[in-house]
Chains A and B, each alone.
Chain A
Amino acid sequence: MKIAITGIGTVSAIGLNCDETLQSLLNERSGVGKMHILGSNHKELPVGEVPYSDEQLKSMLELGNEPMPRTSLLGLMAAREALSMSKAPCDAFINGTTVGGMDLTEQNWHNYAEGKATENIRLHEAGESTNAIARHLNCDFTFIATPSTACSSALNAIFLGANLLRTGKAKRVLVGGSESLSKFHLNGFNVLMILDHEPCRPFDADRHGLNLGEGAGYLVLESEDDALNRGAEILAYIGGYANTCDAFHQTASSDNGEGAYLAMKNAIRMANIAPGDIVYVNAHGTATPNNDLSESAALLRLFGDKMPLVSSTKAFTGHTTSASGGLEAAICVMAMRNGFVPANLNWNSKAEGLIKPVMHTEKCELRYVLCNAFGFGGNESSLVLSAVPVELSEHSFNHAQPVASVDQTDDTDVSTYISAAEGRRMTAQMRRIVVAVRRAMKEAGIEKPDAIVCATRWGCMLQSMRFLTDMIDSDEQQLKPTPFIQSTHNTIASLIAIMTDNHGYNSTYSQGKESLQNAMTDIESQMSLGLIDSALVLEFDEQVEAWDNVLKLIDDKTNNTARAYVYKKGVR
């Protein structure tokens, strides 16, 4: 099957739609600047804000006064653009996000203590912010998923969408991601000391970290045959894609960029081309000292002295975290359609071990383009976009066969399976999931499954709530890095990969009660396509008093869940 892109939609600090975004890119106009909308005390930090309040966005979107996370408002705007460009409804919607409705939780924390504004509580869930977008699109979705792998979420959404098409599970998919700024992750990145107090300088010798941004970006994908049959305009094609795990550190990238190297190499291999065919790389390029050095190492390993043109567009938009893969893939499509390479703004000086990016907008015919998005936990995703059709294999009737299953409900065996040093930073429930995994792998007689996929409704809620309450209680002053590092939904799947040195596929879904179904759809389609032969599937949630005190207002509660399943490919 050849997968065509028939629609794109973008919202970010450099434009509310693709036309505005394109003009900003061509004119080298950055959207990074002073904070106006986000109500943080850290006004000294530049951000890439969409310069409209939630109320203004709601009015532009012609929405009533219903509660809606900013993530969903931005997402809805971009999703509508992509659908209207494609001129046809989709039957699957895959939206990567991590922030979800955290902004509403921050704003209403004190209201909840007084039993007020309770209609916002449910929207905290990542999956609910996806549902909130879906409700306002004129599509009859039969499948909705929310991959939450931190900053690579949107690219992973695109990969699942392509797999659904290739296995016949969907006909036309709307895929990408959305993320608003939140005080939560602004303070989190600040406490990790990786935010630049000036506009960020990707790949520069003097770079001092990233600027956070916000936005959304989506693609509409369908088979080339379907697109041609309905007379749709084809903007570009999916060439190949891959996700790997760096399996090195929860927040830092390895010195040799192993995960990034493997992701790029595998994506190029799927596209059935050689590294030398890539004309342009839209790098992850966050401008942190660590990312840019590690990504440069990976690029140098893969391309050697035949380095394609490389730029990071994050100096335009800020780092839009979970949305970045969708936004930047759409930017790549614009670049291909308009024959140019976007500038890597603010670059001044070359340093040892770093690639030299494109300093100014450059005219160039782009046949094959590579787009990178890397996330916490070493979650590395790479997408090849192509101006010409690329044949991708279709499914071959394999199915996922369960071979082991462990439900860890207590602390039995914790000291047998986890040393004190290993467990030092883990919450009790994190230790249980590690025990469940080690027991399940033993039962299945498997050491390194090809994929690790976690399903979680609330994510790592204990650490999230620790960080949130510290942030609120100390007025954004006294925060600890570990709770933030462990607050992303994909902490568990990454932790397991790091502990077992597993560089394979790594993903996490947070779609309420359908999270496990999301995870199973992912591994079943990958087994069908021969992309993986085995998979470790996890179910994780933890009971958290601080959040239960809020949830009881809507008769809900958190639960302790630590289950591990191993699946192997079976032939039906």
Chain B
Amino acid sequence: MEQLIEQLKGQIIEALNFEEMTPADIDADAPLFGEGLGLDSIDALELIMLLDREYGIKLADPKAGKAIFRSVRTMAEYIQANRTK
């Protein structure tokens, strides 16, 4: 799980263009939206595409992302349970 979290942090940094950040700057349990990284609805769509691209997970409803993207850890847990690649 910890390995997946680290990998995911790197993928988030790349997908969302956080050029000046490193995985160590992201707290796995901090909220991704609102406070914390302060992501918005465009980022949510980018994360949905990331799930598809990297882990073969397709979300049909953008609203489903809300619970999954609460933190890097919740995202990693969802990936572990649902990944197809």
A residues near B (Cβ < 8 Å) are 191-193, 249-252, 420-421, 424-425, 478-482, 485
Contact = CB atoms under 8 A, between A and B. Distances in A.
Contacts of A193: 45, 48, 62
10 contacts: A191-B45, A191-B49, A251-B42, A421-B38, A425-B17, A425-B42, A478-B49, A480-B46, A481-B46, A482-B46
B49 A479 contact: yes
Contacts of B48: 193
Interface in B36-59: 38, 40-42, 45-46, 48-49, 52-53
A182 B56 CA distance: 27
Contacts of A192: 45
Interface in B1-53: 15-20, 38, 40-42, 45-46, 48-49, 52-53
Contacts of B18: 424
Nearest to A424: B17
Interface of B: 15-20, 38, 40-42, 45-46, 48-49, 52-53, 62
Contacts, number: 34
Contacts of B40: 249
Contacts of B16: 424
A425 B17 CA distance: 7
B71 to A, nearest CB: 19
A250 B41 CA distance: 11
B38 to A, nearest CB: 7
Given A249-B40, A478-B49, A481-B42, 19 more contacts: A191-B45, A191-B49, A192-B45, A193-B45, A193-B48, A250-B42, A252-B41, A421-B38, A424-B17, A424-B18, A424-B19, A425-B42, A480-B15, A480-B46, A481-B45, A481-B46, A481-B49, A482-B42, A482-B46
Contacts of A252: 41
B53 A478 contact: yes
Q: Which 3 A-B pairs have the closest CB atoms?
A: A481-B45, A193-B62, A424-B17
Contacts of B42: 250-251, 425, 481-482, 485
Contacts of A249: 40-41
A398 B19 CA distance: 47
Contacts of A421: 38
A420 B46 contact: no
A551 B48 CA distance: 35
Contacts of B20: 420
Contact of A420 (B19, B41, B52): B19
Contacts of B46: 480-482
A421 B19 CA distance: 10
A133 to B, nearest CB: 34
A251 B19 CA distance: 23
A191 B19 CA distance: 24
A487 to B, nearest CB: 13
Contacts of A251: 42
Nearest to A193: B62
Contacts of A424: 16-19
Nearest to A420: B20
A185 to B, nearest CB: 16
Contacts of B49: 191, 478-481
Contacts of B15: 480
A425 B45 CA distance: 14
A160 to B, nearest CB: 30
Most buried by A among B45, B52, B62: B45
Nearest to B16: A424
Of the listed residues A193, A250, A252, A485, the one surrounded by the most CB atoms of chain B closer than 10 A to its CB is A193
